[in-house]
Amino acid sequence: MTERRRVVVTGVGAVTPLATGAERSWQRLLKGESGVGLITRFDATGFKTRIAAELKDFAPEDFIEKKKIRRTDPFIHYALAATAMAVEDARLTIDEHNAERVGVVVGTCIGGMTMYERNLDVLADEGSDKISPFFITGFIPNMALAEIAIAYGVKGPSQCVVTACATGGNAIGDAFRHIQYGEADVMIAGGAEAYIRPVGIAGLARMGALSSRNDEPTRASRPFDKDRDGFVMGEGAGILILEELESALRRGATIYGEVLGYATNIDGYHITEADSANQARCIRTALRDAALAPEQVDYVNAHGTSTPSNDRSETAALKLAFGDHARKLAISSNKSMIGHLLAGAGAVEAIFTLLTMRDSMVPPTINLETPDPECDLDYVPNVARPMQVNTAISESFGFGGSNAVVALGKFQG
């Protein structure tokens, strides 16, 4: 078998409920600041859940021409903006000399719900002739990666990943494989979501997935806490530039870290309840792929949704996967501050994991005030922790039992 090539991360970009930009979001994350508040996207009066983690300072016109803004959904805006920041951060030039060796894997759970709702209203109120001619190309899931490819002239491998909450992790992992096996030298990878819409919030609330702590928005997302009552919907995007090591070194690129391994599987068990044993298998498979012993992992960026059953299942999975070492791990959930970005979650959280290693600072899990007795590991409660982190995993587990685990490490030369 051909030797697998090493893959590093040379650029990152993020649009999150904390800030526009990965670095600004990271600094607020370390301070334990929450991006959760009352919903302003629409009138949520009468909704069971009236809180979400909305973008606060995002201006699409800073990244996209106005005509394209009108013709595309916000999830595409977020993806394009995060890509622009990641490409600039990587100091990456894409032209006729390398376009065929650059690819893109960007996913979304839902696609363009804003475009869909708006055109559904137009259809009902004004008739079929008034539907936007850009409706379909403005909302279907693969259009984020298509618009990225068009913007930069990308000609290489392409995928739109749709695996619910595991999407971002799967996108990074699939992009990693394309480079490992020589199909590309550079991959643009990540996920984007814009699902703070009436039908989205109502649907998730109806299934009992969302927190209804409406009077205390900033305290609503509380992974692993005994009093958690569901996740908080977030929005945004995360994009990483993955690059073959020799290519990155030739360019003199800044290297955030190395993608060491990846695994994905599906529980085949239940549409919303997790199978801890199978999640543990996914973790162990990712570690084998990375040639890591469990004892070599320092930190886990947890899926940590703040739902009663899933936090318990994830804790059980970590114990099964790591054995006694589980109690020595630092574990934290970024969702306590940014909510759940669905497809964007795994990508943004992988970026934060790389920054954890870069800065030797583990971000906290905020709102962890009364630990659940069944969630009895070290979740770095409430205050960031200085800590040397050389290896870490980022976990993403989705509805339907989709699992993705990405193993990351400090670049060792």
Residues annotated catalytic, as ranges: 165, 303, 340
Q: What are phi and psi of 321, to 5 degrees?
A: -75, -40
Output helix, strand, coil percentages for the chain, rounded to the nearest 5. 40, 20, 40
> Checking DSSP bridges between strand 385-386 and strand 330-332, what pairing results, if any?
unpaired
Helices 143-152 and 74-90, interaxial angle, to 10°?
A: 40
Q: Is 268 left (phi over 0), alpha (psi -120 to 50) or beta?
A: left
Label residue 121 left, alpha or beta by phi (over 0 means left) and psi (-120 to 50 means alpha).
alpha
Q: Look up residue 132 and give its amino acid.
A: S
Say which residue the tokens 């279907």 belong to.
140
Judge contact between 192 and 343, C-beta under 8 A. yes
Q: How far apart are CA 192 and CA 187, in angstroms?
A: 16
8 strand-pairing partners: 243, 258
* Dihedral angle sign, alpha carbons of residues 332, 336, 342, 343: negative
Burial (0-12, 13-18, 19+ Cβ within 10 Å), 370: exposed
Per-position DSSP letters for 100-111, written without gaps between them = GGEEEEEE-SS-
At residue 315, φ and ψ (nearest 5 deg) are -60, -45
* Cα–Cα dist 45/62, whole Å: 32
Dihedral sign for Cα atoms in the order 154, 245, 21, 88:
negative
Query: Mind giving me the DSSP string for 82-149?
Result: HHHHHHHHHT----TTTGGGEEEEEE-SS--HHHHHHHHHHHHHH-GGGS-TTHHHHHSTTHHHHHHH
Q: Amino acid identity of 5?
A: R
